[in-house]
C-alpha cells in the first residue's frame, strides 16, 4: 500500500497530474497505518482497503490525464496502429478510474456501516456493565458481590443470592466467548489457612450456581484469595464487611484465560 503510493509519487509524468488524488491517497494511507486495538481489527481492514482504492484512483486519474496530454502528439504519428493502442489505453484508464471510484464509494459505505455497528455494540456492552454495577478494568469486567451471598462462616449460597447472580448469567450467555475467574475473599478474622479454604469454597459455590444455570464449566475458573487482598480496613466492622466478598472477573475477548476445574 505505502510502496504503491511511493512508486506513483516517484513517477514525474504521473505525480504532477493527480496532485489532489495523491494527497487524498496519502491521508488515507497515513490513517490506515495508525495502530488500532484488536477489537477494532475490522475497522483497520476497512481503512487499508480504502487506502488501496485511493492509491488506485490516483494512479488511474494520473494515467488518464497523461494519456490525454499525449493525444495531440499521437494524432500526428503516422503509425495508426500505435495511435489506436494508446487511445485504447487512455479509454481503459478512464474506465479504471470509474471502477476505482465506485469501489472507493462502496468501501466508504461499508466502513460507515462497520463503524456504526461497532459503536452500537460498544454502547450495548457499556449498558450491560452498568446494569451489572460492574467496572471495566485492565483485568476485564470486574463484578464485586458482597457478603450478602453467604451466611457467616458458610459457603452455601443464601436464598436470595440467585437474584444477584442471574443477571450475571444473562450477561455470560450473551457474551459466550468470554471466560471468567471467580475469586473468593475474606476479612482477617480467623487463620489465614481457614480463610483461604473458606474463600475457595465460596468461589466454587458461585461457579456451581453459574454452571447449574447453563454457563459452560470450561469457561469458569475459581481461586481462594482469603484475606490476602483487603480493600478496606480490617480493624473496623464496616471494613471487614467490605473485605468479605466474591469478585467475578470477566475476561476481555482477546485475553488468554486458562480455566481450572474446581
Q: Give the mean model confidence (pLDDT) for residues 58-63.
A: 82
CA pair distance 221, 207, nearest whole angstrom: 8
In tens, the pLDDT along 94-130 reads: 888 788 788 877 777 776 666 776 677 677 777 777 7
Confidence at 76, pLDDT banded by 50, 70, 90 = low
Q: Is the pTM of this model over 0.85?
A: no
- What pLDDT score does 16 carry? 79
Give the CA-trace dihedral at 28, 33, 39, 41, to 10 degrees: 70
Under 8 Å CB-to-CB from 7, ≥6 apart: which residues? none
Please provide the size of the chain in residues. 262
Task: List the chain domain ranges.
Answer: 2-120, 133-250
Q: Is the pLDDT of residue 259 over 70?
A: no
Q: Is the pLDDT of residue 6 over 90?
A: no
Least confident of 18-32, 62-76, 156-170, 217-231: 62-76
CA pair distance 141, 137, nearest whole angstrom: 6
For the structural domain made of 133-250, what CATH number should be given?
3.30.1330.60
Confidence at 247, pLDDT banded by 50, 70, 90 = very high
Least confident of 19-33, 61-75, 109-123: 109-123
- Percentage of residues in the chain having pLDDT higher than 70: 87
According to the per-residue pLDDT averaged within each range, which of 20-24, 107-111, 247-251 is highest?
247-251
Under 8 Å CB-to-CB from 219, ≥6 apart: which residues? 172, 176, 178, 179, 180, 259
- What pLDDT score does 78 carry? 59
Amino acid at each position: 500500500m505505502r510502496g504503491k503510493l511511493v512508486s506513483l509519487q516517484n513517477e514525474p509524468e504521473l505525480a504532477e497530474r493527480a496532485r489532489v488524488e495523491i494527497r487524498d491517497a496519502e491521508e488515507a494511507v497515513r490513517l490506515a497505518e495508525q495502530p488500532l486495538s484488536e477489537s477494532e481489527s475490522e475497522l483497520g481492514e476497512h481503512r487499508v482497503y480504502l487506502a488501496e482504492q485511493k492509491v488506485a484512483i490516483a494512479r488511474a486519474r494520473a494515467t488518464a490525464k497523461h494519456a490525454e496530454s499525449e493525444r495531440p502528439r499521437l494524432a500526428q504519428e503516422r503509425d495508426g496502429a500505435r495511435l489506436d493502442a494508446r487511445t485504447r489505453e487512455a479509454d481503459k484508464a478512464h474506465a479504471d478510474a470509474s471502477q476505482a471510484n465506485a469501489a472507493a464509494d462502496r468501501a466508504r459505505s461499508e466502513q460507515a456501516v462497520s463503524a456504526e455497528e461497532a459503536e452500537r455494540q460498544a454502547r450495548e456492552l457499556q449498558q450491560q456493565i452498568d446494569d451489572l454495577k460492574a467496572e471495566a478494568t485492565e483485568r476485564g469486567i470486574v463484578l464485586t458481590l458482597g457478603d450478602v451471598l453467604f451466611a457467616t462462616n458458610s459457603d452455601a449460597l443464601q436464598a436470595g443470592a440467585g437474584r444477584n447472580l442471574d443477571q450475571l448469567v444473562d450477561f455470560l450467555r450473551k457474551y459466550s466467548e468470554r471466560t471468567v475467574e471467580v475469586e473468593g475473599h475474606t476479612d482477617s478474622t480467623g487463620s489465614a489457612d481457614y480463610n483461604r479454604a473458606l474463600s475457595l469454597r465460596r468461589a466454587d459455590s458461585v461457579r456451581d450456581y453459574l454452571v447449574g444455570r447453563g454457563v459452560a464449566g470450561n469457561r469458569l475458573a475459581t481461586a481462594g484469595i482469603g484475606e490476602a487482598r483487603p480493600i478496606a480496613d480490617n480493624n473496623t466492622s464496616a471494613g471487614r464487611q467490605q473485605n468479605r466478598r466474591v469478585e467475578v472477573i470477566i475476561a476481555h475477548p482477546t485475553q488468554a484465560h486458562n480455566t481450572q476445574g474446581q
